[in-house]
Structure 1
Amino acid sequence: MQDSPTALCSVGLVVLAIALNALGQTGSNDQQTKLAMTPPMGWNSWDAYGTTINEKAFKANANWLAKHLKAYGWQYVVVDMEWFVTNPVAAGNSKTFQYSIVDYGRYIPPPNRFPSGANNAGFRPLADYVHTLGLKFGIHILRGIPKRAVEKNVPIEGSSYRATDAADTSDNCPWNFDNYGIDSNKPAGQAYYDSIARLYASWNVDLIKVDCISSRPYKSDEIRMLSAAIKKTNHAMVLSLSPGPAPIEKAAELKKYAQLWRISNDIWDLWHSTVDYPQGLGDQFANAAKWAAISEAGHWPDADMLPVGHLGPTPGWGKQRETRLTHDEQRTLLTLWSIARSPLMVGGELPAADEWTTSLLTNREVIAVDQHSADSHQVLATDKTVIWVSKSVPKQEYYLAVFNIGSVAQETHYKWQDLGLMAGKYKVRDLWLRKDLGLKKSIRSTLPRHACVLYRLSQ
């Protein structure tokens, strides 16, 4: 029997559709692969606003970042947790939260906090505003499906399923009341994650920080499902996992599905903590060293936000304050994060930043260590001193960071060979002082408690 022109045309259209879909999916995978080729830099609302961030405050911080920091590589602005409640509290959880949820059980920003999101516009107008500044827009979510959506058993957008089909009602985040976990054994669970990923793509979101997913509990299936949902949108979105510490034995899986993952619990403005939450700056040295070999373009162990500047008006932990880290400790914070190649997300209220804080965040030579180095690793660690080395890319130079983690001032003196550096002499530049120190056969430093030096070494 001879094929009709209509039949041939139909077959051709089907083949073309399959090819275009495959091409689109490949494009999506390529986009995700090329995300976060250097550690993302930006600002997150949690350290300054807790759960109370609103559109006016968010825009003020975005505007300040665009004016003062964008030229130095800072580009993300991220709305942290509970942006979807109408009655936020200063920090943490509340069983009296009133949620802004529409249609298919998906959270949207309430107009009393984000007026541009009225009439179900969601975050698209705010994302568009951020993009006009030349910045990128991120949001925080909690893994799972809203308990309110399950109570009402709403339909899941784009599917024949309903909320109760997707929820695992025995799975509750131990520190948050908003959501149930997703039942990964049911296709309805993937359908729900697909639906929220489509929503965030329609808002033009650039980064999704997902909480209660990468530590206590570590939710392998939900990480995989969220990654798959993002890829299906054909819209590039960085996937950032929180909190920590993520298990290092899951490093290969984390690199397969996410761009960023936390290596510790929340870091705040203290040196050392005797409790699990919060953690202090001094506690982060061991974590950073453990994860150093895992970092690579597109996949970054995340040492958490930078609690510098004004932590207020309603910080996520403690009372409104200026950071309690000393100037030396703040330089140590930026130096460790940079030589470990962590994402850099400022936590303080940007419009309240003083001259010191601004100078801390606008040192191009220090930022280059974070953005353009390789083979970062710890070469020495005692109870008093920690030393890291990395290579400058693309130049044949080295970066050297020496930290005094002890409680009193100390003098350090090392020959280059002691640190795995084989040349007899190096030209030394102090990156914090922006000062050339000349040709040296060894390095000698006198460091106050919790202070550091950061050098660039060249021949």
Structure 2
Amino acid sequence: MTGRPRRLRALVSAATGLALATAGLAALSTAGAPASYASDNGQSLRPAMGWSTWSFVRRTPTEAAVKAQADAMASSGLSAHGFVYINLDDFWQKCDSNGFVVDSYGRWAVDTAKFPDGIKALADYVHSKGLKFGFYVTPGIAKNAVTKNTPIEGTSYHAKDIADTTKTEKNYNCKNMYYLDYSKPGAQDFVNSWARQFASWGVDYLKIDGVGAADIPDVQAWDTALRATGRPINFALSNNLPVADATTWKKLANSWRTQGDVECYCGPGPNGSGYPLTDWSHVSSRFTTAATWQQYAGPGGWNDLDSLEIGNGDKAGLTADQRRSAFTLWSMASSPLLLGTDLTALDATDKAMLTNDRLIAVDQDGVAAARIVSSGVNQVWRKREANGDYVVALFNTGTSGSSTVSVNWSQVGFSGSARVTDLWSGADLGNVSGSYSATLRPGETRLIRARPASSPAVRYEAENGTWSTGGTVDSNHLNFSGTGFVNTANAVGAYAQFTVDAAAAGNATLTLRYANGTTTDRPADLTVNGTVVSAGRSFPGTGSWDTWADATLTVPLNAGANTFRVTATTANGAANLDYLDLTQP
């Protein structure tokens, strides 16, 4: 398989189903839209849901405050709808005039005035509520560790051996963080020791903040360290990461902030704390970044639009229409849903928004929507789910004046008519032919599910089928569907096989999606139930391994289960195979 690295993604489908069931969302459809090279650490097969201290608690987190939010998450019923993370962000550390106070191994010390029982006890409390605990760190090593030349746990090395004191890392609290020099022995061991400490405390989610392109070695080190702990830890990157390195973030982490903070820092308290937490300009600017980053989201790695400021009514800084629009955008983007509001004072209107399982299902379907209309204040987004349904969001992003937003079904991806459901209200809007439109107030949204009246294609992901020895499921190229694609062995006779179900006997249309990044044809015999239906079918070059094409043919199928096999006829093997769509009259 020269030029095509392999990455086995075993048992992803089973794990995905388990993740959804655990979140109380077993009825959701599985992913069926473009994704890219994703982390294979087994975490965040669906976007994380929970709460973070930063927006509301901000610089004054305490043990009591975090426990109160955990209590409210459980008692409010939000956890039953999938909101399970309680994430302690920055300012848990103790500082002196030289920066972070450190422990005997050079790691940040906990501010015991804020957390008298320590972080492990807090994590244990969160876990006792049936929730998960998140934590926070930034790259580098503290100045105090270098000044004291603290030893690196389990090694003969010390802080001065691994610090690059010519460069200072970005940090938002105590500052005074030096870069780590990963060419020096002991640097990875230092990060490993920190990761082991966090794992021993019961951390389930780790946010590493202040990350930029220069910190890729740190992200790699933390990815390695977290895996080595043996504890499942969701790995999140922040903030405003460069999209030029998107494939790197996706390979190493489970989410990445696509923009700066959603908070407006315009409240009356110190450093702009207090209400309002945000404003519409900080939310609406995320439409463009969500569109730019869309192609990189998929199971195992998500575009993070930052905290969702819903829960405290209008005083959070958004009108009810704007809050619904924010939730709609976050869900269409399949962004993590991490609330930033005060859960101990939930507004009834907002609680109804947050417990709308139809909206949550859109976020958790694992498909990042694409923007198909952007005209002034009018925007339309769409995603296609694996069962053939289309989810469509219409927005008026303006701050004054109503606007009529329209979209043709052909723009969405189908023709004819569709059964339409309003996902915010649950209302059945009946059959709608040709197009859909809505007149929206400023900041208002309309979110619909459209089920085409014509028989939708049923999608069979190649990675859920079978393949001959030497084949792998890979995810190292862009724009595939589901969780990966099948990369057969380079050999005559190498095959991939699908089992497809026909509602009735008769002809059906099969559309096979493939990529061939070479200039050499990769012909294959196509068989149905052991009978050749297309001998030596051509699969020519598609320009790159990131570019996919369709091969469509009409074949006879039996009622019920049928086997469709693609068998290579040359030593180059078959093209990469993404999925098979089945359509019957």
Do the aligned partners of 2:369 and 2:381 also contact (CA within 8 Å) in 1?
A: yes
2:283 to 281, 288, 305: 281
Q: Is residue 2:361 matched to residue 1:353?
A: no
Q: Aligned partner of 1:255: which letter?
A: K
Q: Does the 8 Å contact 2:420/2:430 carry over to 1?
A: yes
> Which residue of 357, 360, 363 maps to 1:367?
360
Matches within 5 A, 1:177-326: 177-213=175-211, 215=212, 218-244=214-240, 246-268=241-263, 280-310=282-312, 322-326=315-319
Once residues 56 and 233 of structure 1 are traced to their aligned partners in structure 2, the CA distance between those partners, rounded to angstroms, is 28
Runs of 4 or more above 6 Å deviation: none
Match of 1:451 in 2: 444
2 CA distance for matches of 1:189 and 1:344? Answer: 34
> Larger radius of gyration, structure 1 or 2?
2
Unpaired stretches in structure 1, ≥5 consecutive residues: 1-29, 87-94, 118-122, 272-276, 312-320
Matched position secondary structure for 1:341: coil
Give the AA of the match of 1:139: F
SS of match in other structure, 1:46: coil
Matches within 5 A, 1:356-395: 356-374=349-367, 376-393=369-386, 395=387
Q: Please list the CA deviations of residues 152-193 of structure 1 after superposition, one character each: whole Å capped at 9, or x if unmatched.
A: 111111111111112122222345314222112212221210
Instruction: Tell me, yes or no, if structure 1 residue 415 matches structure 2 residue 444.
Output: no
| Whole-angstrom distance in 1 between the partners of 2:380 and 2:250 | 26
Matched, 1:148 2:148: no
Instruction: Check the 8 A contact 1:83/1:109 in 2, yes or no.
Output: yes
1:21 maps to what in 2?
Answer: none
Instruction: Report the Cα distance in structure 2 between the residues aligned to 1:174 and 1:383, rounded to whole angstroms.
Output: 37
Match in the other structure for 1:331: 324
Task: Give the superposition deviation at 1:373.
Answer: 4.6
- Contact 1:270/1:281 (CA < 8 Å) preserved in 2? no
Q: Render the CA deviation track for 1:13-41: whole Å, top value 9, x for unaligned.
A: xxxxxxxxxxxxxxxxx996210000000
For residue 320 of structure 2, what is the amino acid of its counterpart?
A: H
Counterpart for residue 421 of structure 2: 429
2: CA distance between counterparts of 1:75 and 1:253?
27
Query: How far does the alpha carbon of each residue in 1:223-267 deviate from its partner, in whole angstroms, 9 at most, with x for none?
Result: 1111111122112111111111x2222122112111111100111
Question: In the aligned structure 2, how far is the partner of 1:405 from the partner of 1:128?
Answer: 43
TM-fit CA distance, 1:363: 0.7
Q: Which amino acid aligns with 2:111?
A: P
Q: Is the 8 A contact 2:69 2:344 kept in 1?
A: yes
Distance in 1 (alpha carbons) for counterparts of 2:319 and 2:265:
9
- Between the aligned partners of 1:373 and 1:133, the Cα distance in structure 2 is 27
Provide the rounded CA distance (Å) in 2 between the counterparts of 1:415 and 1:104. Answer: 62
Residue 489 of structure 2 corresponds to none
Tell me which residue corresponds to 1:133. Answer: 129
Cα-to-partner distance string for 1:127-176 (whole Å, 9 max, x where unaligned):
12211211111101111112211111111111111111121222223453
Contact 2:101 2:144 (C-alpha < 8 Å) held by counterparts: no
State the superposition RMSD in angstroms. Answer: 2.4
Structure 1: distance between partners of 2:154 and 2:303 = 34
Return closer, same or farther for 1:35/1:51 CA change in 2, 3 Å cut-off: same
Distance in 1 between residues matched to 2:311 and 2:169, nearest whole Å: 31
**Kept after mapping to 1: 8 A contact 2:307/2:337:** yes
**Paired amino acid for 1:224:** Q
Kindly indicate whether residue 174 of structure 2 is the aligned counterpart of residue 165 of structure 1.
Answer: no
Q: Distance in 1 between matches of 2:39 and 2:297?
A: 19
Distance change in 2, residues 1:327/1:130 (3 Å):
same
Cα distance between partner residues in 2 of 1:379 and 1:187: 50
Structure 1 residues 220 and 451: CA distance shift in structure 2, 3 A: same
Per-residue CA deviation, residues 276-323 of structure 1 (Å, 9 max, x unaligned), is: x99711111110001111111001111111123449xxxxxxxxx921
CA shift digits 1:29-63 (9 cap, x unpaired): x9962100000000000001112111111011011
1:438 partner amino acid: G
Q: Which residue is 2:80 aligned to?
A: 71
SS in 1 for 2:367: strand
Distance in 2 between the 1:429 and 1:373 partners? 20
Q: Deviations over 1:50-106 (max 9, x none)?
A: 1211111101101111222111111111000020127xxxxxxxx758755322111
Aligned match of 2:395:
403
Q: Which moved more, 1:431-440 or 1:282-291?
A: 431-440
- For 1:96 and 1:359, locate their aligned partners in 2 and report how far apart those are by CA, in whole Å: 47
SS in structure 2 at match of 1:390: strand
> What SS does structure 1 have at the residue aligned with 2:250?
helix
Q: Report the alpha carbon displacement of residue 444 of structure 1 after superposing the two structures with TM.
A: 2.0
Q: CA deviation at 1:454?
A: 0.6
Query: Which of the pair is proportionally richer in strand?
Result: 2
Q: Is 1:113 aligned to 2:114, yes or no?
A: yes
Q: Give the conservation status (yes or no) of the 8 Å contact 2:145–2:159.
A: yes
Alpha-carbon distance in structure 2 between the residues aligned to 1:302 and 1:85? 28
Equivalent AA in structure 1 for residue 135 of structure 2: I
